[in-house]
Structure 1
C-alpha cells in the first residue's frame, strides 16, 4: 500500500513536471516575443553573418533573447543563416520570427537616373544594396562580359536604363549587372528595335543621341523637336555641334568630373577630343550621360521638321528658339549671348 502511494506520487509529480515543461516549451515557441511598438522593424542580415550576428541584430527588438536562440537552434536556423532584408512583425512569437528570418527575404526598390559615368552609377547603387561600389564598378567594366553583351567601355552605360527596379538587398554585383542586362533587353522590345532600324540607328546609338538631347533640354515636351534637329544634321552629314559633348570632353580630358561649366567658350570648341562634336562628324563614341526614357523615346519618335539650329530662349526660360537657317539662328544666338553677358556668366 505504501509503495503504491509512492508510485502514484511519482506519477503525479511526473505529470505536473511534464505539464510545466510542456507549458514552458509552448510559451518559448508561441508567446509573443517582440518589444517594439511599431508595426514592423527592418533587419538587414549581411552576407557571411553568423547566428551570433543575427542575435545582435534582433536583440534590440525582442523581449527574450534566450528563448529565441533556443528555438533557432532547435529548428536548425542557427547553422543556416541567410542574408537579406527581413521584417519583424509586432506581436510575433519566436516560431514566426525564425520563419521570417529563414525564408522571407524581402525585395527592395532601387532607382537611378541621369548618372554621368559608370563610377557615378556604382556609387548610386551601392547606397541602396549591400554590395560596395568598387565591386559593382569592376563587374560593370568586365571586358569579357561587355564583349559578349555587345558593349564596350564607351557604350557600357547604355545598358542601364534609368528606372525603379526590385532586387534583393543582398544581390551580388554580378547578379545586379546581369539583371540590368535582362532589363535592357526587355526595354528594347520589338517595337523599339524596329523604330531604331527605321531611323537608321542601333539601340546604343539611339541612347548616345538621347543623352545629348537629354542634356540640351529638361523639357520632355521639347525633346522630340531637339532630336529632330540632330537627326536632320546627321542626314545632311553635318557635324552635331552639340555643346553638351564639348562639356563632357573637357571633363573627360581633364578628369575633373566635378567641374561646373555653365558656358561653352569659342576656345573650347577647338578641343581635339573624340567626344567634341564640333570637331568630329557623327555621334560621339558613347553616351555623355544616362538619358531619361523620355529622351530615348524622343529620339525614336523624333519630330519631322526643317529646323537645323536651336538656342536657349531668353524670354521663355527652359525652352529654345528653333531656326531653319543660319541667318535666323545667328539672330537668336546674338540675343542669347547678350543675355548671358548681362548676367555676368563667364564660365
Structure 2
C-alpha cells in the first residue's frame, strides 16, 4: 500500500514538475515572443504610476497578452521600479521585454500630445501637436499667438485634460528681452523674472518643461547650457581668431547669426568680419545698427534710414571701430562654431544674391557688381532699394 502511495505521489510530483516547466516555458515565450499589437500605439506613463497600473493599461490597449506575466517579467529582470514618466510609442509586435525596455529607458517622450511654445525673432507662438501613430509623425492640431484673441478650443481642451508634454523652444537669433517677455506671457509657467539675462547668454534650443515650472529656473537652465557650449567651443577654437575673451567671440557669433540663416554660409560670413578686423576696416553690418536703435526690444519692422546709418551709437558698426560692446542676440551653436573657426578666405564683402544666400567678394569692384546684380533682382521683385549694404 505504501509503495502504491509513494508511486502515486512520485507520479503526481513528476506531473506537477512537467506542468510547471511547461507553464514556465509558456510564460517565457509570452514574455519574449512577438506581442499582439498589430499597429503602433502610444502609451502614457503618468508620474507615480505603479507597475500594476501600467501593466493593466498595456493589457487594455492590447499591447501585452497578460498583465501578470508582464509584472512577473519586470520583477525577474529587476526593472519593476524603473518606470519613467512620459509618452512612449510601442511598435507593432513588440514583445513584453521590448516594451519594458522602452518604458524604463527614459529620455524624451516619443509620442502623445505636446505644446511647443516657440519663441521666434518676430513673434512667440504656441503650437499644439499630436502624434499620429499610424503615420509615424506629429500632426499640427492648433497654432496661435498668446495674447492675440482667444486660444483655439482644441488647445483649451487639451490643457484642461493635462495629458500633455510642454516644451519651450528658442529660435536662433532671439534677444534676451524677447525671451523674457515671451516667458512672462507663458501662462503654463509661474514665478517672477527679476531681470533680463545678459545678451547672448541663453542657448537657442528646445527645453522640455512641466506645467507650473518656474520661469527663472528655466532661464537659468538656458544660461547654463549656453555657458557649457561656449566653454566647449572656446577650447577648440582656431589659433588665430582675433578674440581676447569668449565674450568677444559671442559678440561675433551673434553678428554671424543675424546676417545669415544658412548654416553652410556661416563660416564664410565669419571670415568676412574676421578679415575686416585684421585689416582695420569697420564691420558695417546692419543688424548691429538695428540693435542700437531697438536695444533688442522687438524688431525694427522697416528698412534703415540713411540718418540712422550715420547716427552714432555703441552698436553702429558703420561709425565705430571693431566689435560692438555686447552680443546683439543669442547665437546658436553653429554660429558660435563659425565665429571661433571661420573659413580661410580673402573675402571682405558680401551681399544677398537672390537665392536666400549671399555673394561674397574680395575686392570692392567685385562687390559693387554683386550689389548691382542684387539691386536688379530687387527691382524685378518690386522691393524698395536698400539704404545700406554691408561693405559699401
Decide whether the 8 Å contact of 1:33 with 1:62 is kept in 2: no
| CA 1:47–1:260: 2 relative to 1, 3 Å | farther
Match for residue 382 of structure 2 among 327, 344, 347: 344
SS state at 2:273 partner: helix
Deviation, 1:22, is: 4.1
Decide whether the 8 Å contact of 2:88 with 2:102 is kept in 1: yes
Q: TM-score w.r.t. structure 2 length?
A: 0.52
Q: How many residue pairs were aligned?
A: 304
SS state at 2:382 partner: coil
* Structure 1 stretches lacking a partner, 5+ long: 110-114, 141-151, 165-171
Deviation, 1:102, is: 7.6
**Which residue matches 1:245?**
288
**Structural mapping, 1:158-197, within 5 Å:** 182=228, 184-189=230-235, 191-192=236-237, 194-196=239-241
| CA 1:245–1:14: 2 relative to 1, 3 Å | same
**Which residue matches 1:205?**
248
| CA 1:254–1:221: 2 relative to 1, 3 Å | closer
What CA distance in whole angstroms lies between the structure 1 residues aligned with 2:361 and 2:37? Answer: 61
| CA 1:28–1:202: 2 relative to 1, 3 Å | same
**Which residue matches 2:51?**
51
Per-residue Cα deviation, 1:264-306 (whole angstroms, up to 9, x for no partner) = 4446647887655456653251153535637743664455658
What CA distance in whole angstroms lies between the structure 1 residues aligned with 2:57 and 2:316? Answer: 52
What CA distance in whole angstroms lies between the structure 2 residues aligned with 1:287 and 1:27? Answer: 66
What CA distance in whole angstroms lies between the structure 2 residues aligned with 1:135 and 1:296? Answer: 21
SS state at 1:320 partner: strand
- More relative contact order in 1 or in 2 (CA 8 Å, sep 6+)? 1
Per-residue Cα deviation, 1:155-196 (whole angstroms, up to 9, x for no partner) = 214x66x8x9xxxxxxx978998677555444333x516333
Decide whether the 8 Å contact of 1:311 with 1:321 is kept in 2: yes
| CA 1:183–1:299: 2 relative to 1, 3 Å | closer
Per-residue Cα deviation, 1:60-104 (whole angstroms, up to 9, x for no partner) = 32222232234435666444434579886876765x347635865
**Which residue matches 2:101?**
100
Q: Is 1:297 the equivalent of 2:338?
A: yes
What CA distance in whole angstroms lies between the structure 2 residues aligned with 1:294 and 1:134? Answer: 21
What CA distance in whole angstroms lies between the structure 1 residues aligned with 2:79 and 2:263? Answer: 52
Deviation, 1:154, is: 1.1
Decide whether the 8 Å contact of 2:310 with 2:319 is kept in 1: yes
Deviation, 1:230, is: 2.8
Deviation, 1:243, is: 1.7
What CA distance in whole angstroms lies between the structure 1 residues aligned with 2:109 and 2:307? Answer: 48
What CA distance in whole angstroms lies between the structure 2 residues aligned with 1:221 and 1:331? Answer: 23
Question: Where is the strand percentage greater, Structure 1 or Structure 2?
Answer: 2
Q: TM-score w.r.t. structure 1 length?
A: 0.57
**Which residue matches 1:285?**
326
| CA 1:108–1:272: 2 relative to 1, 3 Å | farther
Q: Is 1:24 the equivalent of 2:26?
A: no
What CA distance in whole angstroms lies between the structure 2 residues aligned with 1:254 and 1:328? Answer: 36
What CA distance in whole angstroms lies between the structure 2 residues aligned with 1:311 and 1:89? Answer: 49
SS state at 1:192 partner: coil
What CA distance in whole angstroms lies between the structure 2 residues aligned with 1:71 and 1:313? Answer: 62
SS state at 1:29 partner: helix
Deviation, 1:312, is: 3.5
What CA distance in whole angstroms lies between the structure 2 residues aligned with 1:83 and 1:285? Answer: 41
SS state at 1:340 partner: helix
| CA 1:154–1:229: 2 relative to 1, 3 Å | same
Q: Is 1:320 the equivalent of 2:365?
A: no
SS state at 2:239 partner: helix
SS state at 1:188 partner: helix
What CA distance in whole angstroms lies between the structure 1 residues aligned with 2:341 and 2:245? Answer: 11
Decide whether the 8 Å contact of 1:210 with 1:295 is kept in 2: yes
What CA distance in whole angstroms lies between the structure 1 residues aligned with 2:37 and 2:225? Answer: 36
Decide whether the 8 Å contact of 1:72 with 1:98 is kept in 2: no
